[in-house]
Amino acid sequence: MSYNAAFFCNKDSVDYVYGDKRTAQINEHYSLCPDFITAENLEEKLGDLQDLKYVFSTWGMTPLDSEQISKLPSLEAVFYAAGSVQSFARPLLDAGITVMSSWGANAVPVAEYTVSQIQMASTGFFHLAETNRSPKTKGDIKNSEFPGCFEITVAILGAGMIGSMICERLKNYEVDVIVFDPFLSDERAAELGVEVVSIEEAFSRGQVISNHIANLPTTEGLIKGEYFAKMLPYSTFINTGRGLTIEEDKMLDVLEERPDIYALLDVAQIEPPEEDSRIWSLPNVIYTPHIAGSLGNEVRRMADYAIAEAKLFREGKELNYAVTHKMLETMA
């Protein structure tokens, strides 16, 4: 029997992201291979996939090299219900195959999470919750040290999909938004209603600084430890981007010296951090395990984006989230 669609990842990933409902939707419109194609069974299943046009996948995508792609003569498109495609996209794009990523869907919960943290940080929630753990430290920091979420400056590092979503959402608040992003055009900055600044200015002016810089060879260690020393009193740094973009040890040096500033880290250079890392012990560092991105019910949104894009593709319409070689230069 021939199939024009297949999942290229393991069953557990499909169950988690697509679930029965989304898988049934795909079954309605495609001749879906009943097997989940993985690196272990790919060669064995190639004979059944000569009519394969559409690949659906998510985290744990089965990568294809150029030789394997040549053995799938009908393949036209890959719909990836997750974010980064750096590990598998290039051979597919080189072969003229469309690659779509649900990075837009994954950006939504990160943007929502970040805006909520900006609001809480500006009111002193994290600082004051720590000092109010004990009656002995209660009142060590005054409420008046924090400006609240009104007429403050919020600094966004990186105005890609997530950074732009945050800027759009911050239009609902009476705050000034400054952005560090060397790739942000004046026209786009005007659309977002933001001021473009240097990274040093972002740290010295932002009451809250939020990192969304993609993890690329050119961005590793881009955020220097010395920048944290420039932060305003009782300001907060949020990282839902990638840990490798920061000089982590030097950042922690400054945080150790300056208990008035806070770091909310949803990522780290090593995850989880090593047992002796100061991330665990510094009272002005809060570390969470990647809870900003899609989780729980939110992962279904990524499957919905992939299915919607596949429908557009079948109808010959332009995709909203197609990936190009050029985009891979700056995508995470």
pTM confidence score: 0.85
Q: What is the CATH number of domain 123-287?
A: 3.40.50.720
pLDDT tens readout for residues 72-120: 999 999 999 998 899 999 999 999 999 999 989 988 999 999 999 999 9
pLDDT tens readout for residues 167-210: 999 999 999 999 999 999 999 999 999 999 999 999 999 999 99
The two domains 5-104+297-328 and 123-287 share their CATH topology (first three levels equal): yes
Instruction: Name which CATH class applies to 5-104+297-328.
Output: alpha beta
Mean pLDDT of the chain: 95
- Mean of the pLDDT values across residues 18-45? 96
Please tell me the distance from the alpha carbon of residue 165 to that of residue 301, in angstroms, as a whole number. Answer: 16
From residue 81, alpha-carbon distances to 58, 66, 93, 156, 261 in Å are: 5, 22, 17, 26, 37
Please tell me what DSSP assigns to residue 178: E
pLDDT band with cut points at 50, 70 and 90 for residue 215: confident
pLDDT tens readout for residues 228-246: 999 999 999 999 999 999 9
Q: What residue segments make up the domains of the chain, in order of their start?
A: 5-104+297-328, 123-287
